[in-house]
Amino acid sequence: MNAPLQKPVMDNALLAKLTGRLGDRATIEKLCSSFGDVYCEFLPDIIKSETNLDVEVSYIGCHRGFKSDLIADLGESVTLVHAVLRNWSQNVTLACGNRFIITLMEHLLGASPESVEQPADRVLSAIELELAVTVFEKIANVLRSAVNAPGGFEPILELPHAIETPTKSADDKVDEFAAAITMAITLSGITSEFSLIAPQAALLKTTVTAPRAQNQAAKSSAWTEQLTEQVRRSQVTLDAKIRLQDLTLRTISKLAAGDVIPFHDSGDVRVDVSANSRDLYVCEFGRSGENYTVRVKDTINSDDELIRHLMN
């Protein structure tokens, strides 16, 4: 018996080209370069107007491939955000190097440019992730202004997350041909990168336009105020220090399990409470039910001084 004839399966890349989901190299590189020009011109002005900090942005280049592969090639010290821009693309990923977020945080907390050092490659802290939300909003808003998506919808961003623990959306089940537009961003001599990774299907239908110039009022304190509020909501580990009776080195060297060292104070026992090596309160040692406690007697620093120290 003759085997039934099977229709030849069309090559995936060829099918993508025929359906507008894959462009030629020259077209994609030209589009990516246009996005790079927009970010170079407008993102530094946005950051300057809201933080009074000078940053330099330059276009590095673009890479083409499957979206999952482009994300995997970003490296480890990177934070990601999944974004949706209605009427343009449901599957955009924004990436930013952690070094920029860490450096920006130090500046917003009052560090001088001379004191800022090259950050270690690490994941962001909880407070730094909250700052990353604001950074990604600025990057996404430049994208929104640069594309010709009808309706003028605001970008919708998921919460930032480390690249080791990406969140999967329904659209991620089918990988897409995409392009990664990579930019260098420099603050106080420390250079990091951020990227826009978008499906080629969205890029190929895009006419990149420069955003309209906006007369933005200075907001240099807005991000600092936001960070202060974030710090107020953060959990802080407290340490309590009680002075014990002075002992000679001979006595200390002979201490064994079960030996008792008396407190230095014979009456109310003084306890110094601190956080991040900063003294906060003078307290009394006591007990409430089955729990040992301290009762606050006096404060050492003002509220503003405490907040500034804990942010550092």
CATH C-level class of 236-311 = mainly beta
pLDDT of residue 172: 46
Mean pLDDT value of segment 63-71: 94
Is residue 132 within 8 Å of 101, Cβ to Cβ? yes
- Give the model confidence (pLDDT) of 70-79 as tens digits: 999 998 899 9
More confident residue, 160 or 51: 160
249 has pLDDT over 70: yes
Q: Which residue reads 């330059």 in tokens?
A: 58
Q: Which of 110-119, 132-141, 245-254 is least confident?
A: 110-119
pLDDT of residue 304: 56
Q: What percent of the chain has pLDDT over 90?
A: 54
pLDDT of residue 167: 47
pLDDT of residue 290: 87
Mean pLDDT value of segment 55-77: 94
- Give the model confidence (pLDDT) of 82-101 as tens digits: 999 999 999 999 999 999 99
Indicate yes or no: pTM above 0.75: no
- Give the model confidence (pLDDT) of 172-220 as tens digits: 456 899 999 999 999 999 999 999 999 999 999 999 988 765 544 445 5
Q: Which residue reads 């080629």 in tokens?
A: 200
pLDDT of residue 13: 74
Q: HSE of 34 in the Cβ direction (CA atoms, 13 Å)? A: 18
User: 113 CB contacts (<8 Å, ≥6 apart)?
Assistant: 107, 188, 189
Q: CA-to-CA distance for 167 and 159, rounded, in angstroms?
A: 10
Per-residue burial over 62-84, b if 16 or more Cβ lie within 10 Å, else e, is bbbbebeebbeebeebbbbbbbb
Strand-pair partners of 178: 65, 199
Is residue 122 within 8 Å of 100, Cβ to Cβ? no
pLDDT of residue 44: 95
More confident residue, 189 or 300: 189
Element housing 162 (H / E): strand 161-162
275 has pLDDT over 80: no
Domain with CATH 3.40.1550.10 in the chain: 12-232
Q: Which residue reads 């659209």 in tokens?
A: 171
Mean pLDDT value of segment 22-50: 93
pLDDT category at 309 given cuts 50, 70, 90 is: low
Q: Let me know the angle formed at the C-alpha of 71 by 35 and 24, rounded to the nearest 5 degrees.
A: 50
Q: CA-to-CA distance for 297 and 295, rounded, in angstroms?
A: 6
- Give the model confidence (pLDDT) of 279-290 as tens digits: 888 999 998 888
pLDDT of residue 218: 46
Domain with CATH 2.30.330.10 in the chain: 236-311
pLDDT of residue 234: 67
User: 84 CB contacts (<8 Å, ≥6 apart)?
Assistant: 90, 91, 92, 155, 156
Tell me which of 3.40.1550.10, 3.40.50.850, 3.30.300.90, 3.20.20.105 is the CATH number of domain 12-232: 3.40.1550.10
